[in-house]
Structure 1
Amino acid sequence: MNTVQPAVAVAVVCVATALFGVYGLRPGRATSDFYVASRAVTPLQNASAIGGEYLSAASFLGIAGLVLAYGADMLWYGVGYTAGYLVLLAFVAAPMRRSGAYTVPDFAEARLQSKRVRQLASVLVVLIGWLYLLPQLQGAGLTLRTVTGAPLWVGPVAVAAVVMTTVASGGMRSVTAVQAFQYWLKLTALAVPVIFLLLAWRADGAPWPDADEPPRFRDTTTVTVHQAVDVRVEDPVRVTVHGRLDGERLDGERVRIGPGVHAIGAETRVRFPAGADVPHPVDEEPVDGLNWTRPLSGTEHPGYGTYSLLIATLLGTMGLPHVIVRFYTNPDGPAARRTTWTVLWLLAAFYLLPPLYGALGRLYTPELLMTGRTDATLLLLPDRLLGGGPAAAILGTLLTAGAFAAFLSTASGLTMSVAGVLGQELERRRARRATAPP
């Protein structure tokens, strides 16, 4: 894989993000301008911004990887993530906007008349924001390492630098412009390549695996294991190893590995013949072809598992601080409701695409099941289907740009929501000190 184009794509996305952030530097520096963009964001722009920050690393890369590994059951994630906005529409959007608050703790205190509730809400916003931010930084590092070979720390540093610059330059006004742009970039980055990948799959004529078959390598494949892993082999197979296997250092020797558990060291390359079963980590049982294609078949109690997943995603959407704060930026309650309806359509259009990448990944990148890096399938598919060349480079570059836009947009929203809460808390303490008797 050529590493120059993906690196250029990441640089272009970062520069474009900074340029859109300049939009927030225009006159108007009041408190409401920084926290809620003067409550003047149109429904379409706000819906695009919500889509930009909501469609994070989990949506862009994660769902495709989950579908690759576990099949049809994972489609419920996209359904839950989208339907969660119906809960927002019914119970949250208009009341939050009518409150006149700047942050979630402001609303909680005004509604319940309790400073303790405000303090608890502030702690939860910071905690949720931090826990949500970590996967974005990790995803940025893994993405850059996958497509360019850069060290893991480069991605998080790049995301942090761009996000801090955007938020500090213009607050919510800058973040809104950036996220609206990044939603449409992500949608384009998914929609355009999948058309060419599906055409390439049809031209290749690759048959779908039989229902009772485990995942298998279609061609002779070299798997690079970046982190040490213990895998279970079901049938004996002869492989070529560069690195450590079961504690022994090998340098290109061809060895036979029998059924059972085998330890593969970090940065080891293992070459498997075509038709071999894909080994799987000992703590993960692979889903066979039959269960992979059938919903409600991957767990012991599929009905309960599905309902619990839907309830978690429906209610979880209502508790995301960087999403809730978006409804403060609409001019009024009706605009907030129109924003929610628009978001439903934008998310529905987006979530049609990752499952297609997951299904193609089941055919062309099954080795990711061995390393656990299934979320990289979206980035590797163009090279696998098109066999390299300019077309694969262009599509891979576009997907890399979309992935990095996902990290930047979500990280911007999280940083803005946490910064708003901390800023309001500091402002209130400063005001209390100023009015306290000497």
Structure 2
Amino acid sequence: MNQTYGIAGVSAVVLATVLVGALGLRISRTTSDFYVASRSVPPRLNAFAVSGEYLSAASFLGVAGLVLAQGADMLWFPIGYTAGFLVLLAFVAAPLRRSGAYTLPDFAEARLESRAVRRIASVLVVGVGWLYLLPQLRGAGLTLRLLTGAPGWFGGLVVAAVVTVAVAAGGMRSITFVQAFQYWLKLTALLVPAVFLLIAWRADRAPAPAWDERPVFQRSTQVGTDRPLTLTVHEPVRVKVTGTVDGRPLDGGPLTLGAGTHRVGPGTTLSFPPGAPVPLPDDGGPGTAPSGWAQPLSAGREQHGLYATYGLILATFLGTMGLPHVVVRFYTNPDGRAARRTTVIVLGLLGAFYLLIPLYGVLGRLYAPDLLLTGDTDAAVLVLPQRLIGGVGGDLLGALVAGGACAAFLSTVSGLTMSVAGVLAQDVLPTLGIRH
């Protein structure tokens, strides 16, 4: 990916985030403004904001990477994520809003009339918020590393700094506008490149892939490793190596990797010819096995695959109502009816977004199978524009995708920071005797 275009795309998103957030700053004046936007956010705007913060790094990058690596079974993730809002619609949205609470622990105490429950809920909110923050910061680090070569911690630091300023300055008023804007940015960042990727795929006239076989390199491909790898080769493959393989140093010379396992040293570059099968790490996973990628619950997956699938659906379906940065947004609606309308609109917005994600996973299987080798499958969405289109067009589309990824980190981290900050200020610090 062209670094100049990528940095420009990410910088534009950061600048737009600051400018849009400033709109909320101008009208945020009271405590109610800061925590719940004075409970005056209309359903449509709130639905955009909910969708903006819910579509995190896991949705923008992770699901496509899972489909690339593990296959069709991974589509249960977006299905469960979206269907979880049915639970919110039926049981959670309206009661949350009618409670008049500011935070989840406040709501829990009002419903169960227990201070102990409030304390437990406070610990859970802070814990869930922190655990949910980690993949966002990792995704930010991955994106900035691909764009600039910066160390992995740098992207997380940038996101944390921007979000801290936005939240501290304008609170819920600011992040409502920011998250609504970022939903449409993320949808555009996926939709526009997807159109061009499909056109390029059709123009490529590549032979129809055998989805139930191991992936192959469609074109000559160079793969660089920055750490040691142990690869599993199922049929001999001819490569050119600069580095070390099985302790043998080579300087661009040819080598045949025979069937079995091979140790690749750090800093090694492997050049594969078109049609070569992709050698996979020892932990390549069930989706990389023959007959394991395109068929749900296929042979070779873990035992009791059907029960595992039901468990995944149940966890994602019910887990949505336990995400503090999602449920806190229903406090911003004018009333319970508006909260339900918000949820209905969110279902449509998330459905439109998740229709695009599997496409990137499928195309990644075709044109970026080297990510299976290096383990950077989360980068599939970011690298595909350059792989299929190339040139200035690929750079521009790559910059758009990178901007969308940056928006995903910023919007979700904003919501998490706001929800956790509210619990700390309203529930944790008062119990410690700290005034705020």
| Shorter-chain TM-score tier | over 0.9
Q: Helix, strand or coil: the match of 2:73?
A: helix
Partner of 2:220: 220
Partner of 1:408: 410
Of 353, 358, 367, the match for 2:356: 353
1:231-310 superposed matches below 5 A: 231-285=231-285, 286-288=287-289, 290-297=291-298, 299=301, 300-310=303-313
Contact 1:49 1:179 in 2 (8 A): yes
Partner of 2:42: 42
Report the alpha carbon displacement of residue 132 of structure 1 after superposing the two structures with TM.
0.5
Distance change >3 Å, CA 429–CA 306, structure 1 → 2: closer
Unpaired runs of 5+ residues, structure 1, are: none
Aligned partners of 2:212 and 2:340: how far apart in 1?
47
Instruction: State the identity %.
Output: 63
Report the alpha carbon displacement of residue 433 of structure 1 after superposing the two structures with TM.
7.7
Report the alpha carbon displacement of residue 144 of structure 1 after superposing the two structures with TM.
1.4
Aligned partners of 2:376 and 2:185: how far apart in 1?
24
What's the CA shift string for 1:126-160, capped at 9, x where partnerless? Answer: 11111110111110111111233222222111101
Tell me the amino acid that sits aligned with residue 383 of structure 2: L
1:45-56 superposed matches below 5 A: 45-56=45-56
Aligned partners of 1:302 and 1:208: how far apart in 2?
29
Aligned length: 432
Report the alpha carbon displacement of residue 239 of structure 1 after superposing the two structures with TM.
1.8
Of 374, 384, 389, the match for 2:391: 389
Partner of 1:317: 320
Greater shift after overlay, 79-88 or 418-427?
Answer: 418-427
Tell me the amino acid that sits aligned with residue 374 of structure 2: T
1:154-233 superposed matches below 5 A: 154-233=154-233
Partner of 2:109: 109
Q: Helix, strand or coil: the match of 2:105?
A: helix
Greater shift after overlay, 224-233 or 369-378?
Answer: 224-233
Structure 1 position 330 matched with structure 2 position 333? yes
Contact 2:385 2:395 in 1 (8 A): yes
Report the alpha carbon displacement of residue 218 of structure 1 after superposing the two structures with TM.
1.4
Greater shift after overlay, 111-120 or 24-33?
Answer: 24-33
Report the alpha carbon displacement of residue 259 of structure 1 after superposing the two structures with TM.
1.8
TM-score (norm 2): 0.95
Partner of 2:118: 118
Partner of 2:17: 17
Report the alpha carbon displacement of residue 407 of structure 1 after superposing the two structures with TM.
0.6
Partner of 1:424: 426
Contact 1:246 1:263 in 2 (8 A): yes
Contact 2:49 2:179 in 1 (8 A): yes
Tell me the amino acid that sits aligned with residue 399 of structure 2: T
TM-score (norm 1): 0.95
Contact 2:228 2:263 in 1 (8 A): yes
Aligned partners of 2:205 and 2:434: how far apart in 1?
73
Tell me the amino acid that sits aligned with residue 244 of structure 1: T
What's the CA shift string for 1:152-190, capped at 9, x where partnerless? Answer: 222111101110011001111111111000000000000
What's the CA shift string for 1:334-366, capped at 9, x where partnerless? Answer: 000000000000000000001011111111111
Distance change >3 Å, CA 316–CA 428, structure 1 → 2: same
Partner of 2:136: 136
